[in-house]
């Protein structure tokens, strides 16, 4: 098998990896906001349940969570969800896992804002929504971007775990090529694609950090 053919096959299957990444990122970012606010509620039971969820998601392997989401309904309830459930199960596991991490990142950003910021906004006559969106949120985004960058890059690499459920994505195709043709170039090229994509994400995030910086060089 030629290198050109390997590149073509890997890029075709990279679309599966890209789908997992995009849908998981959007879902986790949104769910993370909800989990963050529930985590910061004054109601003890709500906080306890949210803390338990975060603890489980961060304390168990993502691969195990993939298996639980995919095989769980069938083993627990005898429900057969068909092959189409495979992609849905992957998204559910990824979103639930990464939402827990994002929620803690959001929370760390929010609690790092001095109370004086809220009091100053109140003195200026800002409503709660105005205070959050005009005063607090811009500062939170600036503070959490470095941590978010690390998690987004981790998500890119973790998409390769979808191969454990037999989903066609780039890493599974590279593994098939190496197994069937004993051609290690498939792994080298796959690694290069992951690296270049992460390089692009790091560049975008760094640009975002500079845009939000109070001082520009």
CA distance 102 to 111: 14
CA distance 40 to 138: 19
Cβ neighbours of residue 34 closer than 8 Å, sequence gap 6 or more: none
Whether residue 73 lies inside any domain: the answer is: yes
Is 131 within 8 Å of 118 (Cβ atoms)? yes
Whether residue 159 lies inside any domain: the answer is: yes
Domain of 201, CATH number, reads 1.10.3720.10
Whether residue 113 lies inside any domain: the answer is: yes
pTM reported for the whole predicted model:
0.89
Place of tokens 């963050």: 36
State the burial class of residue 28 (Cβ atoms within 10 Å of its Cβ: 0-12, 13-18, 19+).
Answer: buried
Whether residue 173 lies inside any domain: the answer is: yes
State which residues form the domain around 49.
3-212
Nearest to 168, CA basis, from 7, 13, 12: 13
Q: How many domains does the chain have?
A: 1
Whether residue 217 lies inside any domain: the answer is: no
Whether residue 158 lies inside any domain: the answer is: yes
One pLDDT digit (tens) per residue for the chain, 217 residues: 788 888 898 999 899 999 999 999 999 999 999 999 999 988 899 999 999 999 999 999 999 999 999 998 878 777 777 777 899 999 999 999 999 999 999 999 999 888 888 888 888 888 888 888 888 888 888 889 989 999 999 999 999 999 888 888 898 889 888 888 888 889 999 999 999 999 999 999 888 888 877 544 4
CA distance 133 to 44: 27
Whether residue 189 lies inside any domain: the answer is: yes
State the burial class of residue 106 (Cβ atoms within 10 Å of its Cβ: 0-12, 13-18, 19+).
Answer: buried
């Amino acid at each position: 098998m030629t290198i050109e053919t390997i590149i073509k096959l890997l890029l075709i299957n990279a679309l599966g990896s890209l789908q997992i990444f995009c849908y998981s990122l959007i879902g986790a970012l949104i769910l993370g906001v909800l989990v963050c606010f529930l985590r910061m509620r004054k109601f003890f039971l709500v906080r306890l349940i949210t803390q338990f969820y975060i603890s489980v998601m961060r304390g168990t392997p993502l691969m195990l969570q993939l298996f639980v989401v995919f095989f769980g309904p069938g083993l627990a309830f005898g429900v057969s969800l068909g092959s189409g459930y495979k992609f849905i199960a992957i998204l559910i596991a990824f979103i639930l896992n990464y939402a827990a991490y994002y929620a803690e990142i959001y929370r760390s950003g929010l609690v790092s804002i001095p109370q004086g910021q809220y009091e100053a906004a109140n003195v200026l006559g800002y409503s709660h929504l105005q205070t959050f969106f005009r005063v607090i949120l811009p500062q939170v985004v600036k503070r959490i971007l470095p941590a978010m960058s690390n998690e987004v890059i981790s998500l890119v690499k973790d998409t390769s775990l979808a191969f454990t459920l037999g989903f066609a994505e780039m890493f599974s195709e590279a593994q098939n090529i190496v197994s069937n043709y004993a051609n290690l170039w498939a792994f080298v090229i796959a690694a290069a694609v992951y690296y270049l994509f992460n390089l692009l994400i790091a560049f975008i995030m760094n640009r975002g950090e500079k845009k939000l910086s109070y001082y520009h060089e």
